[in-house]
Every structure is written in structure tokens, then in C-alpha cells.
Amino acid sequence: MSARNLGTELGSFLECFSCLLSHLALPHPENAYLSWISKIQVNQPAVLRRAEQIQARRVVKKEWQAAWLLKAVTFIDLTTLSGDDTSSNVQRLCYKAKYPIREDLLKALNVHDKGLTTAAVCVYPARVCDAVKALKAAGSTIPVASVATGFPAGQTHLKTRLEEIRLAVEDGATEIDVVINRTLVLTGQWEALYDEIRQFRKTCGEAHLKTILATGELGSLTNVYKASMIAMMAGSDFIKTSTGKETVNATFPVAIVMLRAIRDFFWKTGNKIGFKPAGGIRSAKDSLAWLSLIKEELGDEWLTPELFRIGASTLLSDIERQIYHHVTGRYAAYHDLPMS
């Protein structure tokens, strides 16, 4: 299904997009170059049909499933974002990130020497130092990601949100997951949204910027597409579905719209932007469906940690249980996987 089938009015979009790109370096792009945003519409029935196709697919089996599940591990941003986070449970998280699957299981699959780890560890800004310290002590180079900008609501003053980014980077975070101010989307303030994300981009410096759209609170799939495009134009390295704290988090319809936006952006600019679904992805079977979606919508080039992540806190446990079953032929008891 083409982007035109998504209902985006790409005729108008493509005419002015090249002009817009030439102005992206400006801190305040003229309204004329953002006017096309108001004309975009997403064909919701078409998106829902595509989502049903993905969910109806049979998952891979046996050794193919094990291989895909191990690949899924490498895309996980292993996350703890709880009010009772402490230095000790962050340290435990970092250990699990470095050793995500029991070594004897990896030996049985002959992949024990591949250096399998999760893609990153994601924590609150106040816990960045704990994560950096724990990973350094473990001799690991796994990146530390930090949420920021008034996570999860994004309703604090802009100055405070920017300072939160600065402090997280100063403490050693190399990836920053910012959350947008949803009010700007719901009221159609696209230039203001662009300006805010540009400031986030500048404050991140060399750190990767992942922009959380909180799609469950954007009101429509059309708004999801518009916000995705603005985030990419403003310099985001990734666009991310959710904080994991909304009532509705990562869903296939939302993902399809965001992935089509990524593809449209790539076609016009040559720039590959990453994608991160987060929230509600808990089972190994779910992770396989997400990998299949990425492969079909964007291709194998996006199936790398540089361009695809899964934000999750419990997914890894189920993947390890499935690997245990594949190797031993039985499901693990609680004591078999004590670090899960």
C-alpha cells in the first residue's frame, strides 16, 4: 500500500517539501513552509486493514523463532521508570542488559560468543549516574538512555525541560527520550512544536534524540502523521510511539502511520530516521510481530539497533522463557530464571 493510500495529500506535500528542507536550518521556519501540514489526511480504514493483516500473520517456528527472538533482544531498550527506582535495582537492570539470556542457553544455541546484549538501558534522569557507574563497572559500553522534558506529561516549563536534558547528558546519557507537549499537536501549533523540538535537538548535543509522540493522546492518526513529520524535520534521530504511561500505548495502526512517515521522509531527504514502539509490548510473540512489521514496511536496513528499538521492561523475561523452552523442551520454573 502506497503513501497515497494512506490518504496523505502527497501532491501538495511533495511540491513544498523540498522548499521546506532548505529552510530547516533556520530556528523559525516561515509559516508558508509548514502550511502543507494542515492539508494532510490519513485514511484510517486503510490503516486498520493493514494492521489486521499484520496481526493475522503466523509467527515463525522452532529454530527460526529462536533466531528472531535473539535478534529482538538486541533491539530492546531495557527500561525501569518507576517511582521506587533505586541504585540497586538500576544496577540489577544493567547486569541483565549485559547478560540478557542465560549463558548455558546461548551455548546450546552456539551463540555464546556473539556478545549478545540489549540495545540500551533507559532510566529517569536522576538514575543516569547509577546506570553509567554500573555499566562501567561491568566493563560494558551499552548506551544509557534517559527520559526527559517533563516525562511523561511534558507539561513543565520549557526552561525546566531543557535543563533536564542538559543535566542528563552531563551525567552521561548518550540517548535522550524527550516527550512532546501534546497541547501543541491538539491545537495545531505545528511551528511551535517544531521550535521546541529544535531546542531539544540543540540541547542534546551529540546525544541521540528520540522524540516520544505519546500517540494515545494525539486524538487521531492524522495528528500522528503530522507530529511524526514535524519531529523528523526538527532533527529527531528516532520517533517513539509512547511513554508507556498512557492508557493506549504502542499499537499497529499508529506504528503503520509512523513508519509510512519515516519512509516518506527518507524518500525525499535520504535521511533514515529510527522507530521505537514502547508500552504494552510484553510477550515474545508480540516482539516477532513488530520485527515483521519493520521488515515489511521499511526493509532489512531498519532491522538494526541504530534504527529500531523496542521500549520494554518485561519483554526480555518472556523472550528468555521461550528460549529456555526451545533449548530444553519444557517451560522454566520461577527458580530457573531468577534474573527475569
Active-site positions read 177, 240, 276
Q: Which of 242, 228, 251 lies closest to 51, judged by CA?
A: 251
The half-sphere exposure of 337 on its side-chain side, counting CA atoms within 13 A, is 21
Q: Alpha-carbon Rg of the chain, whole angstroms?
A: 20
First to last CA, the chain: 40
10 Å Cβ neighbour count for 186? Answer: 13
Q: Are 98 and 138 in contact (CB under 8 A)?
A: yes
- The Cα 286–Cα 34 span in angstroms is 36
**CA-CA distance, 277 to 178, in Å (whole number)?**
14
Burial 111-126 (b: 16+ CB within 10 A, else e): eeeeebbbbbbbbbbe
Please tell me the distance from the alpha carbon of residue 206 to that of residue 176, in angstroms, as a whole number. Answer: 10
- Distance from C-alpha of 210 to C-alpha of 197, rounded to nearest angstrom: 10
Distance between CA 175 and CA 177 in Å, rounded?
7
Contact 199, 158 (CB under 8 A): yes
Cα separation, 50 vs 5, in Å, equals 11
